[in-house]
Chain A
Amino acid sequence: MSRLRRVRAEATAATRSFLRRRTAVFFTFFFPVILVVIFGALVRTRPGGGGLFAAPAAYYVPGYLATVVLFTPLSRIGSEIARHRDDSRFEKLATTPLTRGEWLAAHTLVNLGVISVASLLILGLVVGLTGATLPVAPALALLVPFVALAVVLFCGFGAILGRVADSQDGVIAASNTIALPLLFLSDTFLTPSLLPEWFANAALVSPLTYFARGVRTVTFSPTGTDLPAPPLGTTGNLAVLAALAAVFFAVGAVAVPRTE
């Protein structure tokens, strides 16, 4: 109960702080919205016509979800750590019973809440604006663990970034530099046929690849297209994502500063 009490206290304070920064809230949700509007509604999907958005609209659902699953935790956790460090908050917390793992868990929960709402918004926009059709099946519920595990993973990654970067500006620059290539080179928006063959193995290095492929297994059926079924399937991708999430969270928890 003590642990839960501490995590709840930290998460409650973090949620209030976030929700009261209206600019941060606005842009957290505006970013994926503008992406869907630009790519999904303006550029438009042209199935069979070649080009960037040649696959059916539902193929890109993992990519749109990846924008919030990837960018939000990286930048929010990273900059939160930088802010805490600048304001001596970790120095204060180091003398309380709150552990680094509990701190990261609390902030991961906050991100999970924010990203869950943003993900629902994205799904609604993708269906509404791009005409994507999602299979209504029990398997669709697997989106929840996929999103949750990816959030845990990238919150851990964000903690590592926050530890390494020496300022909030540094965190933002680093998270953008890392997230942008990951977003486009992890089987998200680009079909494998658009990339060199050798890159197929390079994409396996990206944790986001397993999120994208796993989500695609429950949101898109390649039947009737020349697109391959995602390797590893739903369970395999979920398992890899879970393992990576555990590793990144553990390393991220250790990376949360305790000292000056």
Chain B
Amino acid sequence: MTREPVVVAEDLRRSYGDTVALDGVSLTVEAGEVFGLVGPNGAGKTTLVRALTGTTSVEGRVRVFGDPPAEGDRSRVGLLPQEFAPAGRLTVRELLAYYAGLYDEARPVDAVLDDVGLADTADTWYEELSGGQRRRACVGAALVNDPDLLFLDEPTTGIDPAGRRAVWGLVESLSADGTAVVLTSHSMTEIERLSDRVGLLRDGGLVAVGPPGGLVADHAGPARLVVEPADGTEPSATGGDGAQGDDGTTALADALREAGFTVTVGDGEVAVEAVAPTEIGAAVDGLDAAGVDYDALTWTEPGLEDAYLRLTGEAFEGLRQPGASVVDDPTDADPGGHGGTGGGNTGEGGGDETTEVEA
């Protein structure tokens, strides 16, 4: 027997004047699943959360526990809105007791205070808390009814690292107990750590949905090794033939090329794409053998943020990757990207200040 997902959304659409906030979004969330929602500012994340909680009207179909969200059992849902500010002159304890009082059955306030790490400031007015403590109190307010479905819209904004980890632990614990969580955040670390699946919104549409690992594998591009020349040479644009290598990059590029790597050069750095961790030693050996000095050698494994940047078209143009640093259409993103054969290191369409040297 298959159970209906906790949340079912089909073809959701919503516009504000000429601005399209949701453009045919469909998704499901299962019990015990953490569904991460990411996207640029204005992509439609908060509108989507409001649609799923029934606090805004949308075209399309939404079901939460089988009912329209505004008509279902509200005692099973918890919500932390994005810009939520409760009454300032209630203590944290009073605040949680207030929200607990709105439900027939609620968790003990002291337990919630412990969960969000505010037991020591329980008798402090909300308005006298720090920004991070306030947000934790708001998270607590979303948890008082022990919800089966929890919407957290940027729950850790302004929270310090320790507090953030406490909230993460809470989400993991709730999920393990069967609570479905819809989590929006701009922290890719948070989304990658907590989410079972991630939905990436752009311009009101879901452009990708999948497990974080799958999104990274499909969209984030290859691992990169970046080598910075030794100090004393000014970064400068180098020609494609590497003839003007007085900033030190040409010597580095030649050494790595000699060691069998495909390299790109730009902005005073040399990058090698699609380098496995086991190949780093070979690169170091190649540089040592050539007697080339360098200041730093950085290996970067692509993460969800890289996938996000590519899929949202917001790729950072630092060391420009020819042909793939900006992905205008997510369907054009090359999910492979290994060894100079795809994913942005083929040299096609690259910037003027870059060069690629085939090994």
Residues of A within 8 A of B (CB): 2, 5-6, 8-10, 12-14, 16-17, 20-21, 87-98, 258-260
Contacts and interface: CB of A to CB of B under 8 A. Distances in A.
A94 B50 CA distance: 10
Is chain A's interface secondary structure helix, strand, loop, or mixed overall? helix
B358 to A, nearest CB: 55
A33 to B, nearest CB: 24
B53 A95 contact: yes
B103 A96 contact: yes
A89 B56 contact: no
A17 to B, nearest CB: 4
- Interface pairs A-B: 6 shortest CB-CB: A9-B101, A20-B89, A87-B85, A13-B98, A88-B81, A95-B79
A132 to B, nearest CB: 37
Contacts of B87: 13-14, 16-17
B330 interface: no
Given A9-B98, A89-B86, A95 B74 contact: yes
A3 B82 CA distance: 28
A16 B102 contact: no
A94 B55 contact: yes
Contacts of A20: 89, 125
A12 to B, nearest CB: 7
Is chain B's interface secondary structure helix, strand, loop, or mixed overall? loop
Nearest to A259: B55
B55 A96 contact: no
Residues of B in contact with A, size category: 35 or more
A8 B97 CA distance: 11
Contacts of B102: 6, 9-10, 93, 96-98
Nearest to A87: B85
Contact of B77 (A5, A10, A21, A95): A95
Contact of A88 (B74, B85, B94, B101): B85
Contact of B104 (A2, A89, A93): A2
A8 B101 CA distance: 8
Given A12-B101, A13-B87, A13-B90, A92 B56 contact: no
Contacts of B54: 94-95, 259
22 contacts: A6-B101, A6-B102, A10-B102, A13-B94, A13-B95, A17-B87, A17-B89, A17-B90, A20-B125, A87-B84, A87-B86, A88-B82, A89-B86, A92-B80, A94-B54, A94-B70, A95-B53, A95-B77, A96-B103, A97-B75, A97-B104, A259-B50
